[in-house]
Structure 1
Amino acid sequence: MTIRPDPTFHATPRLAMEAEPEKLAYTLLLSPDFSQPDALAVVDLDPKSATFGQVLSTLAMPHKGDEFHHFGWNACSSSLSPLTDHAFLERRYLIIPGLRSSRIYVVDTKPDPRHPTIHRVIEPEEVFRKTGYSRPHTIHCGPEGIYVSTLGGGGPDGTDGPPGIFIMDCQTFDVIGRWEIDRGPQDKHYDFWWNLPRDYMVSSEWALPPQFEGGIVPEQLLSNKYGHRLHFWDLRARKHVQVIDLGENHQMALEVRPAHDPVKEYGFVGVVVDTTNLEGSIWTWWREGGQFHCRKTATIPPEPADAADLPPLLQGFGAVPPLITDIDLSLDDRFLYVSCWGTGEMRQYDVSDPMQPKLAGSVHVGGIARKTPHPNGKAYAGGPQMVEISRDGKRVYWTNSLYSTWDDQFYPGGVPSAMVKADVGATGGLTLDPTFWPEFPQGYRAHQIRLEGGDCSTESFCYPSV
């Protein structure tokens, strides 16, 4: 607890863009065969440092088999909301859930941000007992607490009741309880985010645990059994207010990215694959006349490929789907970055007009068939996956692993850890930095990235930019 608000909290997106650039990244590492504990790596991002691009430390957890996936800060710019009584929190703790174990780690990044320590471990029994949920997934810091979405309900396979969101105390880190009062027709979960002043939340759908934990289930996918809906919620009433079905062929609606400026009532969602043609798509949703609407605004086609270059899962199609597994929006709401994990492409769209995204930049690295090496000549297995943008919008970082069992299906040759950096041109465009290549410990795969001082996929702003 500080006497004044944390200086890394900013009232508006524009003020956050003017802050000091990031100097450290926190990157999750998972052990795909559970032979060692998952870990958190600290990477030097300061170009003036003698250790730029190197791993400064690695914090291993005390348990095995957690399957780290997504994580987030205990507090962020949402703490400056006029409705909160937590304005003096610090952006200090990282909340790291184990997607497979349902265990949650609270990691302290102070007093030495380069060498974080474990502050508390929340055992899965506490999550089960207080919420009835399992498989914690996405972390968002809200004005009054920490919000945690889940992918599973109760029972051994997570199908005893639907998944949902629960709240943790942002100071003690105790699990408080379920968030939803009225969930309506929502029965699957993935990502969620909100517009705090406009008082609404949007959430998306991936799958239930039996559909993802052992790998993708082709029969389920081809019969359109994965998630394909968006859900809209009254944030304060904790009530489901509207559902939009994108069409059952639009399988796996994953990351939702609302505009950062709360004046703007729109956002984006990425769809992994269209089962009728293997294309990926970007959709724009918006609110007008008290109702939410959604439209497909960009598509990315599959790439033809020789069956000999494809894993068994794709050989019958003779093509590589782009597989949009992550998207991220710059703080000025100008550029949307789209990870095409299958084709090995990172796309940059100018979304100044959110209804007409325009391709502004693209780089290739990795990919199922392309196998494009990094500019330094080293092999990059997997494809662009979890993407994070610097607050000033000038640098983009990403990793290469999706989920252990899915990695093995699409990239059977293995997905050793990789994290890369691309520089953004003044008017758009991407250039991979050939000097940035952290060497992570052997046996790990790299997943999500968080930036010291906040980043574009965690911050919620309560005031409009001027």
Structure 2
Amino acid sequence: MTRWTPDPSFYPSPREAAQAPAEKLAYVAAFDRAAERPDALAVLDTDPDSPEYGRVVGWTDLPHTGDELHHFGWNACSSALCPTAPHPHVERRYLIVPGLRSSRVHVYDTKPDPRAPKLVKVIEPGELAERAGYSRPHTVHCGPDGIYLSALGGAGDADGPGGIAILDHTTFDVRGAWEADRGPQHLAYDFWWHLNHDVLVTSEWGTPSMIEDGIVGELLLGRRYGHAIHFWDLAKRRHVQRVDLGDAYQMPLELRPAHDPTQTYGFVGVVISVEDLSASIWLWHRDGEAWAVTKVIDIPAEPADAADLPDLLKPFGAVPPLVTDIDLSVDDRFLYVSCWGTGELRQYDVSDPFHPVLTGSVRLGGIVRRTPHPGFPDEPLAGGPQMVEISRDGRRVYVSNSLYGSWDDQFYPDGVGAWLAKLDVDTEAGGLTPDARFFPRGEEFRGLRVHQTRLQGGDASSDSYCFP
């Protein structure tokens, strides 16, 4: 008789996940903006007792050039322990790594040597297009029944609609498009779910032609980027409701649902308001039998001398916060908000999700400020806190500084550089402190820019749970 035992990094509840051992390694997507060299997976040592702490200790080049690594994720996670999961025996060992520009999807095995991920499969653009009808793969989430992969474009040269493809947990073959009935959904970006309630949520950015060459002023001022979120029946794969935030609120991107599976609320970050350049955080929640959104955080633009601004912002005389990522701690207490334009990472206590309280703030970089890391006060920084990842116990936050190649070039035309910072969290009172020992940057990343980080054993944005 064969007996399957779950992966030891799977936990049935958020509370048990928060008690898990600390991560020893972090995986970072690194890309070559010029597309002349292969992109890579960089591996960082995150063990404070290690002599290599805070250093790049592993490096794996991709087989091609021009992929532009962006988001990536694990093949499996704690959702495999849900009662209806058909694959409780899968392991969290493979990284699913899409190329946002190339439409290739790479599968890397981290188990033989965690510091040297090994390429085991490449899903070519033709397979993704033929079997699912999509291109420009973006976000990866491991679900109980497969690997979910969002995409911004349609098949081949089609500029949309974007949507979600499903990959097999074991073979990594493309099964097909997830949607059975997409309703009015056309623009795509992020997705997440409330598993116990059979609800999936999606957000909107734009089609490939709207984003690949940078932000298009006419589209932004014309209010043509995404400004709605969508709710779906997860089991039936059917669109249920579109909720419009208002067309002034352009680009609702990252979705962060409550980790507590009994709850039906979550947060979405809006990059910019065309009326005043502010950014905002919205809460989705039930309103009777329907869904509603409520704006719970406003972050204003900061006045600036036009001479200090890139061409795109000179007419406005201000720096927009540009909220491009948010992340929610596993205990659902702290929400982290990256203001990539102003160079600020904010921490909010969202114990009452309708009334967030600002409890911490750290400045690094910024379009105008160029705030240095406190451990290296003589090094002005370009870029700003962008992608955010939180350890399962909520005590460590990792931020990287690049958004997307063409957008980096618009907002930081003198160069965005490459850096990744770790911040320690006061989990009792709130607050953030940069770790002076952990600040890989520059040539440690071999001239490549860095984007998303994944933590060995899981992190706050890669797992979902079915038990409270």
State the TM bucket, normalised to the shorter chain.
over 0.9
Are the counterparts in 2 of residues 215 and 405 from structure 1 also a CA contact under 8 Å?
yes
Match for residue 443 of structure 1?
A: 447
Q: Conserved in 2, the CA contact under 8 Å of 1:2 and 1:90?
A: no
Q: What residue number does 2:457 align with?
A: 453
| Partner residue, 2:350 | 351
Q: Do the aligned residues in 2 keep the contact of 1:28 with 1:69 (CA within 8 Å)?
A: yes
Secondary structure of residue in 1 paired with 2:241: strand
Query: Could you report, residue by residue, the CA deviation over 1:36-82 in whole angstroms, capped at 9, with x for unpaired residues?
Result: 01100000000010100000011000100001000000000000010
User: For 1:118-267, what aligned pairs fall within 5 Å after superposition?
Assistant: 118-156=119-157, 158-159=158-159, 161-267=160-266
| Aligned residue number for residue 3 of structure 1 | 4
Correspondence for 1:432: 434
**Whole-Å Cα distance in 1 between the matches of residues 65 and 46 of structure 2?**
29
1:324 alignment counterpart: 323
SS of match in other structure, 2:64 = coil
Task: Spell out the pairing of 1:348-387 with structure 2 (5 A cutoff).
Answer: 348-377=347-376, 378-387=379-388
Query: Does the CA contact (< 8 Å) of 1:2 and 1:89 recur in 2?
Result: no
Alignment of 1:71 with 2:75, yes or no, is: no
Q: What count of residue pairs does the alignment treat as equivalent? A: 462
Contact 2:361 2:432 in 1 (8 A): yes
Aligned 1:71-90 pairs, distance under 5 A: 71-90=72-91
Distance in 1 (CA, whole Å) between partners of 2:166 and 2:21 is: 31
**How far apart in 1 are the matches of 2:440 and 2:372?**
15
1:136 and 1:151 in contact (8 A); partners too: yes
Q: CA deviation at 1:289?
A: 2.2
2:31 pairs with 1:30:
yes
Q: Please give the secondary structure, in 2, of the residue aligned with 1:316.
A: helix
Q: Kindly indicate whether the alpha-carbon contact (under 8 Å) linking 2:73 and 2:139 is maintained by their aligned counterparts in 1.
A: yes
Which residue number in structure 2 is paired with residue 270 of structure 1? 269
Equivalent residues of 1:2, 1:88 under 8 A apart: no
Alpha-carbon separation, structure 1, partners of 2:392 and 2:162: 32
**Partners of 1:307 and 1:53 in 2: CA distance:** 37
User: Is the partner of 2:38 in helix, strand or coil?
Assistant: coil
Offset at 1:115? 1.4
- Residues 263-289 of structure 1 deviation map (CA, whole Å, 9 limit, x = unaligned): 111000000000000000000011242
| CA distances 1:181-211 after superposition (whole Å, capped 9, x unpaired) | 0101001000000011111010000011111
Amino acid of the structure 2 residue aligned with 1:395: R
**1:120-150 alpha-carbon deviations (Å, 9 max, x no partner):** 1111111111111100001010001000000
Structure 2: how far apart are the matches of 1:2 and 1:345? Answer: 49
- Please give the alpha-carbon distance, in whole angstroms, between the structure 2 residues aligned to 1:286 and 1:436: 38
Secondary structure of the corresponding residue to residue 219 of structure 2: helix
The one-letter amino acid of 2:350's match is V
- Structure 1, unpaired ranges of 5+: none
Distance in 2, Cα, partners of 1:401 & 1:441? 13
- Secondary structure of residue in 2 paired with 1:38: strand
Structure 1 CA distance, aligned partners of 2:375 and 2:34?
Answer: 29
The one-letter code sitting in structure 2 at the alignment partner of 1:50 is P
Identify the range of structure 1 (112-121 vs 42-51) with the bigger mean alpha-carbon deviation. 112-121
The SS at the match of 2:316 is coil
Whole-angstrom distance in 2 between the partners of 1:345 and 1:399:
12
The answer as to whether partners of 2:387 and 2:401 remain within 8 angstroms in 1 is yes
Larger CA deviation: 299-308 vs 112-121: 112-121
Query: Quick one: structure 1 residues 2 and 393, their matched pair in 2 at CA, closer, same or farther if it must change by over 3 Å?
Result: farther
Q: Could you tell me which amino acid in structure 2 is paired with residue 223 of structure 1?
A: G
1:438, CA displacement in angstroms? 1.7
1:155 positional shift = 3.6
Distance 2:28 2:281 in 1: 26
Q: Is the Cα contact below 8 Å between 2:342 and 2:367 reproduced in 1?
A: yes
Paired-residue identity, %: 60
Q: What letter matches 1:358 in structure 2?
A: V
Over the residues paired in the alignment, what is the CA RMSD in angstroms? 1.1
Residues 142-195 of structure 1, C-alpha deviation per residue, up to 9 Å, x if partnerless?
Answer: 001000000001242x31x41110100010000110100010100100000001
Aligned position for 1:309 = 308
Alpha-carbon distance in structure 1 between the residues aligned to 2:256 and 2:358: 18
Displacement, 1:2? 8.7
Contact 1:108 1:117 in 2 (8 A): yes
Q: Tell me the SS of whatever aligns to 1:197.
A: helix
Shift of 1:254: 0.2
Q: Structure 2: where are the runs of 5+ without partners?
A: none
CA deviation profile, 1:340-375 (whole Å, cap 9, x unmatched):
000000000000000011101000000000110111
In 2 relative to 1, CA 287–21 (structure 1 residues): closer, same or farther, beyond 3 Å?
Answer: same
Letter in 2 for 1:435: R
Residues 239-278 of structure 1: per-residue CA shift (max 9 Å, x gap): 0000100000000000000000011110000000000000
Answer whether contact 2:283 2:293 (CA < 8 A) is retained: yes
For the Cα contact (< 8 Å) 1:134–1:153, is it kept in 2? Answer: yes
Q: Is residue 466 of structure 2 the alignment partner of residue 462 of structure 1?
A: yes
Structure 2 Cα separation of the partners of residues 379 and 389 of structure 1: 25
TM-score (norm 2): 0.97
Amino acid at match of 1:461: Y
In the alignment, the residues of structure 2 paired with residue 288 and residue 205 of structure 1 have an alpha-carbon distance, to the nearest angstrom, of 22
1:393 is aligned to 394
